[in-house]
Amino acid sequence: MTEQTFMKDYRTGVVFGGSGLIGGTVVNFYKMRRPGVVDMLAPSSKKVSMKNCQDIRNYLLSIKPDFVINAAIANINADPQLSFEVNYVGAVNVARAAASLKIPYFFFSSAAALPQGEMLRETDTLPLTAKLSNYAKSKLMAEETLKYMAANEGLDYTCIRLSIVYGNHDHKIQGFHRLLFSIADESMPFLFTKKGAMHSYSNSRKIPYLIHHMLDHREEFGCQTYHFVDPEPAELADLIMTIKSHLQLKSPRNIYVPYSVARTGKKSVQVILRLLTKIGLKATLPPELMFLGAFYRTQTLSCEKLENSSFVDPMPEETVYSRLPEMIIYYLSRWAHQNMITTFDEKVELDSQIHEDFKHNPMDLLKSIHRDATAPFDPDIP
């Protein structure tokens, strides 16, 4: 892929969530591999809070970028208020600024918005109900509001839905890298999944190529949702054993722990942690364990829609398996030189009706926001 085909003109972009795996990959790509092609700005959360409408509005209207990327999320186990404000309200406010500036908006969503099953298509979303996790609920609401704003407010957006993301430049131990850490730390004695449970994986290294192809072909990719995953899914148990083989470890043993046993064990540990909290010792389970059931169920995403588009995979030979050696060296080197510090999110009591509606009546809240709070920002108001 030549420089000419990769990018037509020099542009300024803004990415929210630049410290995460997705945003960090985008920022690093342009700084290290494509300097002078895109001036990619990544404001910190201290400078621009995703919870603060004025921060987002003032920053984007002052910078006037050519496009904006939203890869920012709250912790997957965040409480309803934080999930709502960061994942949903923040996404909507970025969209309002993008609509005002008439620039493309790239929004990263998640397979958490989809049910279990094989070869799920972009339209196979879960129904929006109060029973969903805060993370899934907020992502679904954001997707629905972007569709509404595209139809009613002139928003030019593309929703890129990812599954389990892998790659370097992740400063947090979460998602795929939590799995890698657990095996490397020998804290996974057995296989907490079942034979044949398949999942899709998303290669973060290819994301900058995708974004800029879509940027240069807005008529094709505007107001659309695409799954961005490797064409071939992977069996979780096989992936775990492959990592174990690379690390030359004795565990985890090739013994499958039934879901009922794993769930009981999780609940028992939660009880112990609550008891420890009462005597001043505070600890928590990895947030990924809220998706423990997903380890035992298949969820694979179809990428047929993207494959049938004009986008050409720049590295078709790359898979989660082919990148394992590189990622293992990268992360083990990082973890070997780091002191692991656990941080805790203090619970924030919700004192607003809007947060109660997010918890119990998300569809009514969504309709209310669509009526009252999706208009593009007025660029003339200071």
Length of the chain, please? 382
What mean pLDDT is predicted for residues 295-311? Answer: 96
Whether the predicted pLDDT of 172 surpasses 90: no
CA distance 95 to 105: 7
For residue 346, the model assigns a pLDDT of 36
Integer CA distances (angstroms), 73 to 39, 85, 202, 309, in order: 23, 10, 17, 28
For residue 348, the model assigns a pLDDT of 38
CA distance 206 to 25: 9
Taking phi over 0 as left and psi of -120 to 50 as alpha, with beta for the rest, 291 belongs to: alpha
Are 74 and 87 contacting, i.e. CB atoms less than 8 angstroms apart?
yes
Are 150 and 156 contacting, i.e. CB atoms less than 8 angstroms apart?
yes
Helices (H), 193-323: 207-216, 218-221, 236-247, 259-278, 292-295, 304-307
For residue 275, the model assigns a pLDDT of 60
Whether the predicted pLDDT of 231 surpasses 60: yes
Residue with tokens 């490397």, as numbered in its chain:
184
What confidence tier does 120 reach under pLDDT thresholds 50, 70, 90?
very high
Q: State the pTM of this model.
A: 0.85
What mean pLDDT is predicted for residues 118-135? Answer: 95
Lowest mean pLDDT among 6-20, 63-77, 112-126, 297-311: 6-20
What mean pLDDT is predicted for residues 6-24? Answer: 82
What percentage of the chain reaches a pLDDT higher than 90? 53
User: What crossing angle do the helices spanning 362-372 and 134-152 adopt, rounded to 10°?
Assistant: 30
CATH fold group of domain 3-372: Rossmann fold (3.40.50)
In one-letter notation, the amino acid at residue 125 is T
Lowest mean pLDDT among 46-55, 156-165, 310-319: 46-55
CA distance 173 to 228: 22
Are 306 and 122 contacting, i.e. CB atoms less than 8 angstroms apart?
no
**pLDDT tens track for 347-377:** 434 445 777 788 888 888 888 888 877 788 8
Ranges assigned E (strand) in the chain:
11-16, 38-41, 67-70, 105-110, 117-120, 157-162, 164-166, 198-199, 201-203, 224-227, 234-235, 299-301
What mean pLDDT is predicted for residues 149-156? Answer: 95
Q: Enter the tokens of residue 261.
A: 């046993």
Are 68 and 13 contacting, i.e. CB atoms less than 8 angstroms apart?
yes
Domain definitions of the chain by residue range: 3-372
Could you tell me which residue, 103 or 184, shows the higher pLDDT? 103
